[in-house]
Chains A and B, each alone.
Chain A
């Protein structure tokens, strides 16, 4: 269609639609013209004026009919009918406010819940990451490790040809000075390659150059939008200013735009970025602390890049045995959403089932209405309304209803999203930007359209087929219903029960998994303990030989606070903190091949850690003040380590040495075994763990191995404090103690251990609350559905029941009739649902823990629950049936 024709057509349609009166007038005039001509002709033939006009009109053949045909030709009528149907539908919905309220609310719940869930899925799974061509970004890691040592990164960067760019990032949390107290802020150190890789331009200033990633030039920093807002009040002159981090001055060179974050899956809270200097670390093959990001080159496939990286890693492994095993690349998006994808897909599927049940309920309500209105439809059919017109009218009514549902659904979705945000675990990626936006609105409309078809088509077809003869013959007594329609309604109830059962089974399995998770023992007593990270960097106590004094004084003074039952410190708090695993060797046993030796979680603790945490010492002794003062080379191991490496033996007195390149020169004697405590994950197995005493650099024990020496007197420790007093109050006092000792020391990342444990359930709890909510909704809808069907049946069959009662049947028979019929439907639905669940529940596997996807307890319990609910829902219609008064029933019309 050419442009001018298109314009013409649009103009015509516009005129036809919006200049109605003008178009009508012109049409009348045009036809009248013709009649006039005819009249003139006839008059010329000898007829008088009046007769001529009448004859002309007769020959022309009905002006009104031709006008109607012209309107049809202009496409006016279709719109007219639609408009009329809409008004009619609106009036008929208003005329039955009860029906409209129930059906509208049902649809609003279904559409709203689905829309809220869709918004989450769209934001997290479908939307791109916010970097340029983010689907080409990959992360380089190893099969069993996701960090890379500096020397290896530099080699990959030099040798790999598959990538258009590569860069590395390292965790960095500097103490930022200025203000009342030092504050530890999460940041990252980045090589110069990262920002070009991401392709996001700074809002202000610039990002750093390759020159700035060398020693001496690296004191520049790029701020996140949020940090710029909170700490600098969005001041646009901030670029060029200097801030103090870890006691050194850094120049602010740029501010990133709002919404920019890096990295997206780890260190997600990073709010500043500074250059990463690798000059002196090129020889480091084992200190794996870098995350490596790369962009696939043009036309390079993921597989090709994987092959190349594997080949380079294999070469590196040959040169430095024990390193670089299983090098590969993983799409960045996979790391960002991989964990939550399964759960979100399951939840979205679940909410779709809820919407289906809601539609089935509304379809059912419509059927009831259609039954009540079948005489209206039959009559209209008899008066000449075509079947498609009747169908259209029904569908228009369904659509209007769905629109009402959609409008209500928007409110439900809005509230649902707020609830979701409150429930969502902090780790759910990209959740901050969640809001009802354009895609969500589009989805609502789509859902409304879908709901129209699902809930409206069946009743519409049934209504438009209304059989005039049958309906009118019945004379309105309406006691026998078309068997087809009765089957249809039964089918709807059966499918509602099947769907509800499937949802309930899913929710039941997830509930059982959640319960199994909860019952796991953390290995310590979390209640009453809180923790806070104490960071000496940038303070006067940073130098190694000054740290002991600070930590010792803090432990003493905090222990003296009223109501404190125990205080200690650990390098990395279990569950919440960082976790290092170091390899170790046992004295007198053969050395394993490099990279194959045993390893264990590495902890450094102050005295009384086990007492404070409530971890029992199973054998041997606790670490003491004396161990630190005398620099004793001792270590405490956990139960798993004892059982795995000294099965059936006593590990006390055995000696181990630590570090990847352990030579066996520095031996630490095992003096105690403690109970296993959870380490990084909640559900995985507990692995080997070793606790060393915090030893000052001058202590004999800290002078041993190269790797271990520096690690035994870390300048950042996590304080753990057990008390019955309120956390906020104690925290204030602890902060006061810290500031009194050194005002440049920061206190950050405060949390109770109960929170640290609960954090482990955040994801499962989120899944459970949503799935449980959906299942509950489904249960209510199914109950309402069966109630509706049986109530209607009782109403329809009141006469029959009345006759039976009059003939001597007991009220109990009527009850049996209703309950029996209702339960047959419920049980049939449940049976189908059970079959469906058996087929589908394995897709839940990634959400389950401690129960199988065919957990018999759930598969038995849920149908029983559903049957009980069905019984309750049937109680009301059954009672009504028993109370049918034979006299009124027989007289009723």
Chain B
């Protein structure tokens, strides 16, 4: 079973926020979209997706609503709140700084 620790700590939040910034999605759709977009590199176990979503909702960054999904079942759709949008900006900034820094270190040539 893969755990969220497979991802860099905290990046799951960033990915979820980003996906939801594009359009409101339900849990199943999110898991599919993650696999698709990262070309199966980012493997998030289905189970650990939901606690993460519930945590984002608890923090007030996403909100949810029950709507009919494509297969005519009722599904819980998550969408980004204004606070979530701000959080996304913050975390994106953090990520860019971090990855830039790491990239720079990795590119150092050995003398």
Contact = CB atoms under 8 A, between A and B. Distances in A.
Interface majority SS (helix, strand, loop, mixed), chain A:
helix
Interface in B1-46: 1, 26-28, 31, 45-46
B48 interface: yes
Contacts of A66: 47-48, 50-51
A40 interface: yes
A200 interface: no
B27 to A, nearest CB: 5
Interface in A13-63: 13, 16, 26, 29-31, 33-34, 36-38, 40, 59-62
Q: Indicate the member of A6, A12, A37, A74 with the most B CB atoms within 10 Å.
A: A37
A544 to B, nearest CB: 87
A43 B50 CA distance: 23
Interface string B57-83: 111100100100101011110000111
A25 to B, nearest CB: 11
A8 B81 contact: yes
A39 to B, nearest CB: 11
B27 A33 contact: yes
Contacts of A4: 81-83
B55 A34 contact: no
B83 A5 contact: yes
The 3 closest A-B pairs by CB, nearest first: A69-B51, A8-B60, A73-B55
A45 B73 CA distance: 21
Contacts of B48: 66, 69
A9 B59 contact: yes
Contact of A61 (B47, B52, B83): B47
A179 B83 CA distance: 76
B54 interface: yes
B46 A30 contact: no
A61 B58 contact: no
Interface string A66-80: 100110111100000
A274 to B, nearest CB: 65
Interface string A348-383: 000000000000000000000000000000000000
A4 B59 CA distance: 12
A74 B59 contact: no
B73 A9 contact: no
Contacts of A36: 73
Contacts, number: 77
A339 B59 CA distance: 56
Interface majority SS (helix, strand, loop, mixed), chain B:
helix
Q: Indicate the member of B52, B54, B59, B83 with the most A CB atoms within 10 Å.
A: B54
Contact of B1 (A2, A38, A61): A61
Given A5-B60, A8-B63, A73 B76 contact: no
Contact of A65 (B47, B55, B59, B76): B47
Given A2-B83, A33-B27, A33-B75, A73 B60 contact: no
Contacts of A37: 28, 71
A45 to B, nearest CB: 15
B73 A33 contact: yes
Interface of A: 2, 4-6, 8-9, 12-13, 16, 26, 29-31, 33-34, 36-38, 40, 59-62, 65-66, 69-70, 72-75
A394 to B, nearest CB: 29
Contacts of B45: 61
A12 B60 contact: yes
23 contacts: A2-B83, A4-B83, A8-B60, A9-B60, A13-B58, A16-B58, A26-B66, A30-B76, A33-B69, A33-B73, A33-B75, A34-B27, A34-B31, A34-B46, A61-B45, A65-B47, A66-B48, A69-B48, A69-B50, A70-B50, A70-B51, A73-B51, A73-B54
Contacts of B82: 4-5
Given A2-B83, A4-B82, A9 B47 contact: no
Nearest to B1: A61
Contacts of B54: 70, 73-74
B46 A75 contact: no
Contacts of B27: 30, 33-34
Contact of B57 (A12, A38, A40, A61): A12
B50 A30 contact: yes
A31 B63 contact: no
Nearest to A72: B51
Q: Indicate the member of B50, B59, B81 with the most A CB atoms within 10 Å.
A: B50
Nearest to B28: A37
A26 B69 CA distance: 15
A72 B48 CA distance: 12
Contacts of A9: 58-60
Interface in B66-103: 66, 69, 71, 73-76, 81-83
A119 to B, nearest CB: 42
A61 B46 contact: yes
Contacts of B46: 34, 38, 59-61
Nearest to A69: B51
A72 B51 CA distance: 8
Contact of A75 (B47, B58, B74, B76): B58
Nearest to B61: A5
Contacts of A70: 50-51, 54
A524 to B, nearest CB: 81
Contacts of B63: 8
A62 B47 contact: yes
B75 to A, nearest CB: 6
A365 B57 CA distance: 45
Nearest to A40: B71
Contact of B47 (A40, A60, A72): A60
A651 to B, nearest CB: 93
Q: Indicate the member of A6, A13, A33, A75 with the most B CB atoms within 10 Å.
A: A33
Given A33-B73, A75-B58, 4 more contacts: A4-B81, A33-B75, A66-B47, A69-B47
A73 B28 contact: no
A74 B58 contact: yes
Q: Indicate the member of A2, A12, A72 with the most B CB atoms within 10 Å.
A: A12
A406 B102 CA distance: 57
A33 B29 CA distance: 11
Contacts of A31: 50
Nearest to B69: A33
B50 A12 contact: no
Nearest to B26: A33
A73 B47 contact: no
Contacts of A2: 83
A747 to B, nearest CB: 77
A774 B12 CA distance: 61
Contacts of B59: 9
Contacts of A75: 58
A59 B54 CA distance: 21
Contacts of B66: 26
Nearest to B76: A30
A5 B60 CA distance: 6
A66 B54 CA distance: 11
A33 B66 CA distance: 12
Nearest to B45: A61
B23 to A, nearest CB: 18
A340 to B, nearest CB: 53
A29 to B, nearest CB: 7
A708 B28 CA distance: 107
B103 to A, nearest CB: 32
B19 to A, nearest CB: 16
Given A60-B47, A66-B50, A34 B58 contact: no
A2 B59 CA distance: 12
Nearest to A56: B46
B16 to A, nearest CB: 13
A375 to B, nearest CB: 35
A568 B81 CA distance: 92
B51 A29 contact: no
A62 B47 CA distance: 8
Nearest to A38: B46
A409 B109 CA distance: 73
A37 B28 CA distance: 7
